[in-house]
Amino acid sequence: MAINLQKGQKIDIGLSKMSIGLGWTPNEGTGNSFDLDASAFMINGNRQIPAEPYFIFYGNTDSPDGALHHTGDDPTGGNSSDGDDETIQVDLSKADASIEEILFVVTIHDAPTRKQNFGQVRNSYIRIVDDANGQEIAKYELGEDFSIETAVEFGRLYKRDGKWKFEASGIGYKEDLAFFLAKYYSGQIIK
């Protein structure tokens, strides 16, 4: 049975291959389509992305070590009526030895211009699925906690004593993806 995660809760993953799935349903009558984007930041011991390719999103779908694969952008939340709209596949056995943490972030694309926030989205969640059998391991509901935010640091995989664990961060921001890049990457982003 899947664990319904609470903010700050930590669990042992016990898996090397998993998928991190994102799903949402926009409220009716809110105007523009909602484009929620799942991103991952592969962070080293200095709390930085070692190089630009370790930032995984719809524009860079594969990490250089082969540990992460983003399956693609869903600009409307319409990829699935009852399943994940965006997915990041994870294989921890391939993670570069320098990577200590993988941070998962969800942002609303162009939120200020569209006047959108997580309070206008229903049924938004992120979940961890065991790739071996398709079973949901853990799920974190995003909707109610983040009524005015446009970005959520939802959780992180991190190494402790050689084992990978997961923590539900649940930290909301009134920011965009550039905020997280500035926080975790000191190099030049090539567009």
User: Rounded to whole angstroms, what are the CA distances from 27 to 59, 65, 76, 118?
Assistant: 27, 38, 12, 10
Provide the pLDDT for residue 6. Answer: 84
Provide the pLDDT for residue 145. Answer: 63
pTM: 0.87
Identify the structural domains of the chain with CATH numbers, from first to last: 3-184 (2.60.60.30)
Yes or no: say if 63 and 42 are a contact pair by the CB < 8 Å rule. Answer: yes
The tens-digit pLDDT sequence of the chain (191 residues) is 678 888 888 999 889 999 999 877 766 665 677 778 889 999 999 999 999 999 999 899 999 999 999 997 655 545 445 678 889 999 999 999 999 999 999 888 888 888 888 878 777 788 999 999 999 999 988 656 677 888 888 889 999 988 999 998 878 888 888 888 888 887 655 44
Yes or no: say if 101 and 94 are a contact pair by the CB < 8 Å rule. Answer: no
Provide the pLDDT for residue 79. Answer: 46
Provide the pLDDT for residue 30. Answer: 59
User: Rounded to whole angstroms, what are the CA distances from 42 to 125, 135, 165?
Assistant: 21, 25, 14
